[in-house]
Structure 1
Amino acid sequence: MAQDNQAHLDVLLVGAGIMSSTLAVMLKELDPSLRLEIVEQMEGGAMESSNPWNNAGTGHAGLCELNYTPQAADGSIDIKKAININAMFEESKQFWAHLIETGTFGNPETFIHSVPHLSFVEGKANVDFLKKRAELLKAHHAFADMEFTTDKSVMAQWLPLMMAARKDDEEIAVTHISNGTDVNFGALTCELLTYLDQQDNSTLSYKHKVVGLERCAQGWKVTIKNLVNGQRRTVTTKFVFLGAGGAALPLLQKSGIPEGKGYGGFPVSGQWLRCDNPKVVEQHQAKVYSLAAVGSPPMSVPHLDTRVIDGKKSLLFGPYAGFTTKFLKYGSFLDLPLSVRFSNIWPMMAVGRDNMDLTRYLVSEVMQSMEQRLDSLRRFYPQLDPADWKLEIAGQRVQIIKKNAEKGGVLQFGTELVSSADGSLAALLGASPGASVTVSIMLDLLKRCFPEQSASAEWKEKLSAIFPAPLKELETNAELYRSTQDRSDTLLKLR
């Protein structure tokens, strides 16, 4: 069983969300003897970004997200990112299927459900883009089942809620693929944490906060504060993982590792419109993504989603962006100003200079009225009843600011793993598609931070059993991809 307050650890993880819980379980699968502790300042796990109401719950697999297939000025479309993200999501499914098969988890329907993924566009230029995109993707085995249509009668079968009361002269198109998913990353995280809490040499420390982080002969000396009684304790650990969402950046700065110099964070808050009316919800069984407005950032891609949380279906539409200086939903308004350092002030200023459009966009989003938000939804659902929808506050996202030789600094949308040269500390920064590809990120971390163990025959054998289909082979081997997907989908009850 779990042991409290171990003074000497092999692994200390900060944050009890999907990132830390995935890495912790993966390490325990590979080496059950590891002494491990997760430190979380909230009273339980999955209370920030991993909470199901704080994210879209999309199993990001490149099936519907149009920003993963950018179109160049010459009209060409790059599908490499969509293929890579699709393979990474299948890698995640292999890990979850393994945990189901070995009895670690109970019913997969507590955290994952089949939901078709669709892309929806308006206007001739966008219809042409979507058709070309579909033709390119269908040529790859991961997207062979994708369907494209401009036939409104077919769209009415797929999207009855969206197609009711549409004008006949609207030029619209849709792609449809049936094997998309809705994932409750909060429930998944709690499954992982429950498993960890039952293991020897595993400690889950809630209402605790890391307040000190410095190198020592054993690796790292970490000072942890009990937020209930104020008492402090110190542990030594060979490895530290900073997987605390927006709070990872300040801790990375506190570590002082050279690899963390120059990183800054740009916090963006979010909001959703939520509908729980069963009569409305039952008419939309899909996740439908469209294009962001011209000049808007990738984070603003509008989508109308089926959500399944604790067995109940709802609809979410958004996101609507906002700005706050907090790095966490339950953080401090001082998070952003306290993150400014001599090493990152120029990259942050350069990003501010070069992203005035983003600033104006965020201001306009913050100033929107409820009626303006509903107008955005009417693009998807013309016959909406305002009484069915309420505004929900989503989680915080801290976009990465990093040094750039040409521009001084750039704002990066996505997820980035930063690790020390000796592999004793790693931090995960950024946002989407983070949760969906957590497993792939952690496999990369194992290679970087546990190189000797990863190269050992024991770990290789265990990893091969968990992941019979490696990432690159999923991208290139159609037969292996299909057999692996069929196996995972069967175990996860997605078929």
Structure 2
Amino acid sequence: MSNRQIKTDVILIGAGIMSATLGSLLKELVPDWEITVFEKLASAGEESSNEWNNAGTGHAALCELNYTSEKPDGSIDISKAIKINEQFQVSKQFWSYLVSSKLISNPQDFIMPLPHMSLVQGEQDVEFLKKRFEAMSNNPLFQGMEYSDDPEKLAEWLPLVMTDRTSDEPIAATKIDSGTDVNFGALTRMLFDHLQNKNVEVKYEHSVDDIKRTSDGLWELKVKNHKNGVVQRHTAKFVFIGGGGGSLHLLQKSGIPEGKHIGGFPVSGIFMVCKNPDVVEQHHAKVYGKAKVGAPPMSVPHLDTRYIDNKKSLLFGPFAGFSPKFLKTGSMFDLITSVKPNNVLTMLAAGAKEMALTKYLIQQVMLSKEQRMEELREFIPNAKSEDWDMVVAGQRVQVIKDTEAGGKGTLQFGTEVITAADGSIAALLGASPGASTAVSVMLELIKKCFPQQINEWEPKLKEMIPTYGVSLMAHPELIQEIHTSTDRALELSKELALSK
């Protein structure tokens, strides 16, 4: 190993959407900072950000029923949906800035307009959806949402779903045309091309094997080059760990107190993908259902039109799988080696608490293809097995930590940023709505980690994100303005979409 330290200002670990977003923001704020990126794989966006490893939904809480809950008095709480929608508007503003500034081009290569729909069956769920629609359609963020429980209208919206449906159970849907399909893999690759044009050094096939604090307050990384086996030491004032499921191990190696008492539980996803173009053409929407009773939030079934490699695809899922790996390309020992003296009680408490999840995962792993097809037929009654193949999607590591509300060993279903007290290192853990809210998450990280510079950076931040520091709900007059400007820049308006 070389004893020479290679110095840089910022190190980003992992070439996924989070590092791509943070790197792009920092390059605009402080162009002269030196940034180095280390990625274990041979190219950008190959793990969680890859288009086959996630749902590709622009999560704006338009159709995802798990972001709205029924309160004890029967009313619908839409506060989480509002927050997620506002975060997605921030992402769209930053992407629009990049396109308008000609830093990236051809937005249709990563984002497409696509209706978002919620679909439910049964009296109780239909009643829930109706109340949800009433609560949301009065809100300017969700303007344009429609509701119907009329089978004829639903057949117009969802021909594939309604054909040959024999059940006499009540069925209802909501539809909103301002939804999007986002190819986060394509966006990640575009952003890394842009960063390399801005002299960011991106080192592929390099893994970070260790990370520690030096006596002068820098972070020193032990980095292995997989092409020639050479190990080097790199130092930086600031390090971001954005390695998807691999982030937890590196956070633990950093030794920061904030990284203790945190565990991770891996869940893999499986999608059914339709290979019959005639079937694919009959569906044009992202349609989210309701998770079955006892199933975790990440198991919400959805039937999605996707645009991958400029080709229309149709996916259904996710079905849960289990592997002890924290990444698709990870090690079978990832789970066991993540258990440390400081988090073993947290992990054991989660194991005792989450017996229902364990049972659910075992049941999911045991499903045959035909059993998966039966679940698909709840959405597409006449689905034929020969038209569908299985695709293994990405690994997601759900965060386990001790919380005041949930107690010891509480499973977190979201995205979490762990930051050192002095802001010199931060790690991103967790899963959905992840990529969709990347810009908001990274802006929060910048605010926490660079408190001295944030005031000086504010004018540039407002140039990139016009609503920076402003709640859209507090300024509803801005909502239409933002929708119009971002839709124009990202070519999402109906006129542009129809002219393609």
- Common fold by TM > 0.5: yes
Alignment of 1:86-101 (within 5 A): 86-101=85-100
- 1:268-289 per-residue CA deviation (whole Å, 9 max, x = no partner) reads 0110000132211111000000
Q: Secondary structure of the residue that 1:451 maps to in structure 2?
A: coil
AA aligned opposite 1:467: I
Give the drift of 1:167.
Answer: 2.4
1:288–1:305 contact (8 Å) kept in structure 2: yes
AA aligned opposite 2:21: T
Q: Structure 2: how far apart are the matches of 1:125 and 1:380?
A: 18
- Equivalent pairs: percent with the same residue? 53
Work out whether 1:493 is the aligned partner of 2:495: no
Task: Report the counterpart of residue 210 of structure 1 in structure 2.
Answer: 208
Work out whether 1:323 is the aligned partner of 2:322: yes
- 1:434-476 per-residue CA deviation (whole Å, 9 max, x = no partner) reads 00000000000110001111121xx111111111113642232
Task: Report the counterpart of residue 425 of structure 2 in structure 1.
Answer: 425
Q: Structure 2: how far apart are the matches of 1:357 and 1:104?
A: 47
Task: Report the counterpart of residue 497 of structure 2 in structure 1.
Answer: none
1:123–1:172 contact (8 Å) kept in structure 2: yes
Task: Report the counterpart of residue 348 of structure 2 in structure 1.
Answer: 349
Work out whether 1:105 is the aligned partner of 2:104: yes
Task: Report the counterpart of residue 11 of structure 1 in structure 2.
Answer: 10
Task: Report the counterpart of residue 380 of structure 1 in structure 2.
Answer: 379
Unaligned runs of 5+ in 1: none
- 1:194-251 per-residue CA deviation (whole Å, 9 max, x = no partner) reads 0111113x10000001112111215211111111211111111000000000000000
AA aligned opposite 2:7: H
Q: Structure 1: how far apart are the matches of 2:272 and 2:177?
A: 25
Q: CA RMSD in A?
A: 1.2
| CA distance 1:279–1:184, change in 2 (3 Å) | same
Task: Report the counterpart of residue 498 of structure 2 in structure 1.
Answer: none
- TM-score normalized by structure 1? 0.97
Give the drift of 1:182.
Answer: 0.3
Q: Structure 1: how far apart are the matches of 2:151 and 2:129?
A: 15
1:218–1:236 contact (8 Å) kept in structure 2: no
Q: Secondary structure of the residue that 1:320 maps to in structure 2?
A: strand
- 1:93-150 per-residue CA deviation (whole Å, 9 max, x = no partner) reads 0000000000011100110000100000000010000000000011110112111110
Alignment of 1:383-394 (within 5 A): 383-394=382-393
Alignment of 1:290-329 (within 5 A): 290-329=289-328
Give the drift of 1:386.
Answer: 1.2
Task: Report the counterpart of residue 402 of structure 1 in structure 2.
Answer: 401
Q: Structure 2: how far apart are the matches of 1:157 and 1:90?
A: 29
Q: Structure 2: how far apart are the matches of 1:300 and 1:100?
A: 34
Give the drift of 1:76.
Answer: 2.6
Task: Report the counterpart of residue 145 of structure 1 in structure 2.
Answer: 144
Q: Secondary structure of the residue that 1:238 maps to in structure 2?
A: strand
Task: Report the counterpart of residue 416 of structure 2 in structure 1.
Answer: 416
Task: Report the counterpart of residue 192 of structure 2 in structure 1.
Answer: 193
Give the drift of 1:6.
Answer: 8.8
Q: Structure 2: how far apart are the matches of 1:293 and 1:139?
A: 28
Q: Structure 1: how far apart are the matches of 2:75 and 2:397?
A: 31
2:5–2:233 contact (8 Å) kept in structure 1: no
Unaligned runs of 5+ in 2: 494-500
Q: Secondary structure of the residue that 2:203 maps to in structure 1?
A: strand
AA aligned opposite 1:108: P
1:483 to 472, 481, 495: 481
2:123–2:169 contact (8 Å) kept in structure 1: no
AA aligned opposite 2:110: F
Which stretch has the larger CA shift, 84-93 or 207-216? 207-216
Q: Secondary structure of the residue that 1:349 maps to in structure 2?
A: helix
Alignment of 1:247-286 (within 5 A): 247-286=246-285
2:471 to 449, 469, 473: 473
Q: Structure 2: how far apart are the matches of 1:463 and 1:82?
A: 24
- TM-score normalized by structure 2? 0.96
AA aligned opposite 2:294: G
Q: Structure 2: how far apart are the matches of 1:408 and 1:436?
A: 29
AA aligned opposite 1:408: K
